[in-house]
Amino acid sequence: MEYYRFKLNFKVRDYECDLSGIVNNAVYQHYLEHARHEYLKSQGVGFAELEKQGITLVVIRIEMDFLYPLRSGDQFFVGLNTERISRLRFGFLQDIYRLPDEKPILSAKVVGTALNEKGRPRLPAEIQELIASSLELDASGG
Amino acid sequence: MEYYRFKLNFKVRDYECDLSGIVNNAVYQHYLEHARHEYLKSQGVGFAELEKQGITLVVIRIEMDFLYPLRSGDQFFVGLNTERISRLRFGFLQDIYRLPDEKPILSAKVVGTALNEKGRPRLPAEIQELIASSLELDASGG
Amino acid sequence: MEYYRFKLNFKVRDYECDLSGIVNNAVYQHYLEHARHEYLKSQGVGFAELEKQGITLVVIRIEMDFLYPLRSGDQFFVGLNTERISRLRFGFLQDIYRLPDEKPILSAKVVGTALNEKGRPRLPAEIQELIASSLELDASGG
Amino acid sequence: MEYYRFKLNFKVRDYECDLSGIVNNAVYQHYLEHARHEYLKSQGVGFAELEKQGITLVVIRIEMDFLYPLRSGDQFFVGLNTERISRLRFGFLQDIYRLPDEKPILSAKVVGTALNEKGRPRLPAEIQELIASSLELDASGG
C-alpha cells in the first residue's frame, strides 16, 4: 500500500447501505469529502476563513473506480495525497481500504480549484503552500 | 381521507431505500421538509426574504407515526394542514398516503417557531397570516 | 446529566449541514438510528440473525425535541436508555449532547416493535431479555 | 444540446443543498442513479428480475465534470445516452442541464457491468439488447 499524507478511519453505518445490501455509490463521495475537509482543517485551512477572503474551494472533476463494495459494519480508512495539476488546479488522490485486511475498495482523483468573488480561479496562499509542500515530499521520495 | 390545504406528489427513488428494502425512516423527514418548504413558497413565504429580516424558521419538535413502509418505485403524496399552537408556535400536520390506493403511510406533527437575530421567538407577519387563514378555514368547516 | 446504558461519540461532517449552516433535522434520525444499531450489536442482537428467524425490528413512532442546533465540526454523543412500553412495544430514550460542554441538543423517544413473517408483532427472546435487564437496572436505581 | 435517449426532470430540494448554499456534490450522483434506474425500468429492465437470475448490475467507474452549481429550487433535467465500451462493459453518458435556460451543470460518464452469482462479469440479454439498439441509433445518426 502507498504512503498517504493523511488517513481517516470510518465505520459503515447501516443507513449508508442501500437496497442491494452494500454502501450506496454516492456515499463514497461523502466519505471522500469528509476526509478532504478534515485534512484541510488539520493543515489550518478553514473554509470560513477563506470565505471571509472571498475565496471558495470548488471541486471541478471527480473520477472514481469502484473496486469492491463496503458492507454494513465494515471499518475502513480513506488515504489522501495531493498534487499540483496546473497553475490553478490541484488534485486529491484518495483511496479507500477496508480494515483490517486493507482490501482496496475505491480509488479516486478529485480535482479542485479556488474561485474569488467574481467566480475567477485564484489559488490562495494557504493552498499553494499545501501543494508546494506536497511536491517537496514527493521530491524527497516521501 | 382528510381535506388538505396543500398536497405534493413524490416517487420513491432507489437510493432512499435501505438494507431492509424499504424507505429509510430518516428519508420521510426529508419528504415532509420538502413539502413544508414548497407550501411556504406557494404562499409567498421565502426563507431568503425572512433571513434578510433576521428571522429564521425552526422546527422545535417532530412526532411521526410510521404506519406502513414505502418501497422502491412507490408513488405517494404528502398532505399538509397548519394550526396555531400558541402565541409563538405553529404546527404542520402532515400525512403521507401511497398512490393510487391512498394507503396511509405516515402521520406527523411538526411544531415550529421563528427566531429573531437574538435567538428569541418572534412570529413574522407572513407566518401569522398563514396561520390566521388556517383558523378561518377550520372555523368555516374547511 | 442522566445515566445512559450506552453512549456513542460522533463528529458532525460538513455534508450533514444544510443551507442554514446547521445539521439538517433529518440527519439527527440517522445519528439516533446508528446509535441504536450499535447498541443492539453490542448486546449481541444482530439484524441478520433475527431476519433468519423471520423477525424484523421496526420503528413505529418517533418523537424528537430539537433543543439546540449542531454545527460543522461539532463533537457530540448519543446517550441511550431502553424501556418496556407494553407487551409488544419497547422504547429507546435517546438524547444528544454536544461535547465537551454537554449542552443538550436533542431529546428523543423511539418506539419499536418486532414483526414476524406474517407482519404480526412478536418480540423475540433477545429483545425481551434486553428490556427485562433494563427494568432490573431501573429497579436497582441504575 | 445533444440528442438524448432518455430525459428525466427534477427540482432541487432544500435538504440537498449544503453549507455553501449549493447542491452537495454527492447529490448529483443520486440524480444520475435515479435517472439510470428510471431509464432501465422504462426499457423493461428490472433489478428484481435480474436478481432472480442471479445477476447484479454494478457501477465500476464514474467520471463527473462539475460545470456550474445548482441552487435551492432550481429545476433541471438529466439526459442519458448509452454506449458499448467492451464485451462486458457498457457506459451511460449523462448530462445535467438547468431549466429553462439549459445551462450545462454537469457532464458524467458512468461505466457499468453485470456480475453473476460467482461475481464474474456476464452481460444479460436485456442489457445487450439495450446497448445494441443504442449502436443502431448511433449508426443511423440518431
* pLDDT confidence of residue C15: 95
Question: Which chain A residues touch D25 with a CB distance below 8 Å?
Answer: 29, 33, 59, 62
The average pLDDT across D33-48 equals: 90
What distance separates the 2 farthest-apart alpha carbons in chain B? 47
- State the architecture of C6-139 in CATH terms: Roll (3.10)
CB contact under 8 A, A66 and D62: yes
Which of the residue ranges A54-58, B74-78, C138-142, D120-124 would you say has the lowest mean pLDDT? C138-142
In this structure, chain A runs to a length of 142
Which one of A24, A27, A62 has the shortest CB-CB distance to D64?
A: A62
- Is 0.80 topped by the overall pTM? yes
Report the residue of chain A nearest D28, measured CA to CA. Answer: A26
Residues 6+ apart with CB under 8 A from C104: C67, C68, C95, C96, C97
Report the residue of chain D nearest A24, measured CA to CA. Answer: D30
Is the pLDDT assigned to residue D33 strictly greater than 60?
yes
CB contact under 8 A, D41 and B14: no
CB contact under 8 A, D62 and A64: yes
**Catalytic: A95?**
no
pLDDT digits (tens, 9 = 90+) for D55-98: 889 999 999 999 999 999 999 999 999 999 988 999 999 999 99
Mutate to test the interface with C, among B50, B61, B68 (most CBs of C within 10 A): B61
Which chains contact C through at least 3 pairs of Cβ atoms less than 8 Å apart? A, B, D
Report the residue of chain A nearest D111, measured CA to CA. Answer: A65
Which one of D15, D34, D73 has the shortest CB-CB distance to B14?
A: D34
Alpha helix (H) residue ranges in chain C: 25-42, 47-52, 125-139
Strand ranges, E, within B21-103: 56-66, 75-84, 90-99
CB contact under 8 A, A41 and C13: no
Is the pLDDT assigned to residue C78 strictly greater than 90?
yes
Give the gap in angstroms from C-alpha D7 to the nearest C-alpha of chain B. Answer: 16
Residue with cell 454516492: A26
CB contact under 8 A, B14 and A18: yes
Percent of chain A with pLDDT over 70: 94
Give the pLDDT band of residue C53 (cuts 50, 70, 90): confident
Give the gap in angstroms from C-alpha C132 to the nearest C-alpha of chain B. Answer: 25
Catalytic residue among C14, C18, C65, C95: C18
Q: Which of B64, B66, B125 is nearest to B93 (CA)?
A: B64
Residue C20 belongs to what H/E stretch?
none
Question: Which chain C residues touch B56 with a CB distance below 8 Å?
Answer: 20
Domain extents for chain D?
6-139
Q: Which of A113, A108, A138 is nearest to A127 (CA)?
A: A113
The arrangement of strands across the sheet holding D75-84 comes to A6-11, A75-84, A90-99, A104-115, A56-66, D56-66, D104-115, D90-99, D75-84, D6-11
Give the gap in angstroms from C-alpha B18 to the nearest C-alpha of chain C. Answer: 12
CB contact under 8 A, B33 and D14: yes
- What whole-number distance in Å separates Cα of residue B113 and Cα of residue B121? 6
Instruction: Tell me the residues of B at the A interface, defined by beta carbons under 8 Å apart.
Output: 14-15, 17-19, 21, 24, 26, 72
Phi-psi region of C112 (alpha: psi -120 to 50; beta: other; left: phi over 0): beta
Report the residue of chain B nearest A26, measured CA to CA. Answer: B15
Across the B:D interface, residue pairs with CB atoms under 8 Å apart total: 24
Strand partners, C91: C83, C111
The arrangement of strands across the sheet holding C75-84 comes to B6-11, B75-84, B90-99, B104-115, B56-66, C56-66, C104-115, C90-99, C75-84, C6-11
Across the A:D interface, residue pairs with CB atoms under 8 Å apart total: 51
Question: Which chain C residues touch B63 with a CB distance below 8 Å?
Answer: 61-64
Give the pLDDT band of residue B126 (cuts 50, 70, 90): confident
Give the pLDDT band of residue C66 (cuts 50, 70, 90): very high
Higher-pLDDT residue of A125, C7: C7
CB contact under 8 A, D30 and B13: yes
Give the gap in angstroms from C-alpha C14 to the nearest C-alpha of chain A. Answer: 7
* pLDDT confidence of residue D63: 98
The average pLDDT across B84-101 equals: 95
The average pLDDT across C97-122 equals: 94
Quote the ipTM score.
0.91
Give the gap in angstroms from C-alpha A17 to the nearest C-alpha of chain B. Answer: 6
